[in-house]
Amino acid sequence: MTTAQLLEGASLLNWRRLQLKRGGRRVDFDWLLDLAGGLSWSSLQRLLVEPQQMVQLKVALQELEQIWGLHLDQAIPLQHLVGRCPWRDVELAVSAAALIPRQETEVLVDLALKAVAGMSVGRWADLGTGSGAIAVALSRAMPSTPGHAVDLSADALALARTNLEALAPKGRWHLHQGRWWDPLEPWWGRLDLVVCNPPYIPSELIHNLDSVVRDHEPHLALAGGIDGLHAIREVVAGACRALAPAGWILIEHHHDQSDSVLELLKEAGLTSIRAAQDLEGIKRFAMACRSRSHPS
Ligand SMILES: C[S@@+](CC[C@H](N)C(=O)[O-])C[C@H]1O[C@@H](n2cnc3c(N)ncnc32)[C@H](O)[C@@H]1O
The residues lining ligand 1, judged by C-beta closer than 6 Å to any ligand atom, are 98-99, 101, 105, 128-131, 133-134, 150-153, 156, 179-180, 197-199, 220-221, 231
- Domain spanning 96-289: CATH superfamily: Vaccinia Virus protein VP39 (3.40.50.150)
- Atom number, ligand 1, closest to the C-alpha of residue 200: 1
Q: Max Cα separation, the chain?
A: 70
Mutate to test the pocket of ligand 1, among 79, 90, 108, 129 (most ligand atoms within 8 A of CB): 129
Contact 128, 151 (CB under 8 A): yes
Instruction: Look at residue 292 in the predicted model and tell me its pLDDT.
Output: 83
The pair phi, psi for residue 52, each rounded to 5°, is: -75, -10
Question: pLDDT, tens digit, for every residue of 249-294?
Answer: 999 999 999 999 999 999 999 999 999 999 999 999 999 999 987 6
Q: Please tell me the residue having the least CA distance from ligand 1 atom 20.
A: 179
Instruction: Look at residue 2 in the predicted model and tell me its pLDDT.
Output: 61
In the reported structure, the alpha carbon of residue 179 is separated from the centroid of ligand 1 by a whole-number distance in angstroms of 10
Write the CA distances from 5 to 14, 39, 49, 247, 291, integer angstroms: 15, 12, 21, 52, 59
In the chain, CATH 3.40.50.150 covers 96-289
Show pLDDT as tens, one digit a residue, over the chain (296 residues): 567 888 999 999 999 999 999 999 999 999 999 999 999 999 999 999 999 999 999 999 999 999 999 999 999 999 999 999 999 999 999 999 999 999 999 999 999 999 999 999 999 999 999 999 999 999 999 999 999 999 999 999 999 999 999 999 998 999 999 999 999 999 999 999 999 999 999 999 999 999 999 999 999 999 999 999 999 999 999 999 999 999 999 999 999 999 999 999 999 999 999 999 999 999 999 999 999 876 65
In the reported structure, the alpha carbon of residue 135 is separated from the centroid of ligand 1 by a whole-number distance in angstroms of 12
The pair phi, psi for residue 4, each rounded to 5°, is: -65, 165
Neighbours of 38 (CB within 10 A): 14
Neighbours of 295 (CB within 10 A): 7
The pair phi, psi for residue 63, each rounded to 5°, is: -70, -45
**Residue 230: HSE in the Cβ half-sphere, 13 Å Cα cutoff:** 14
Question: pLDDT, tens digit, for every residue of 53-71?
Answer: 999 999 999 999 999 999 9
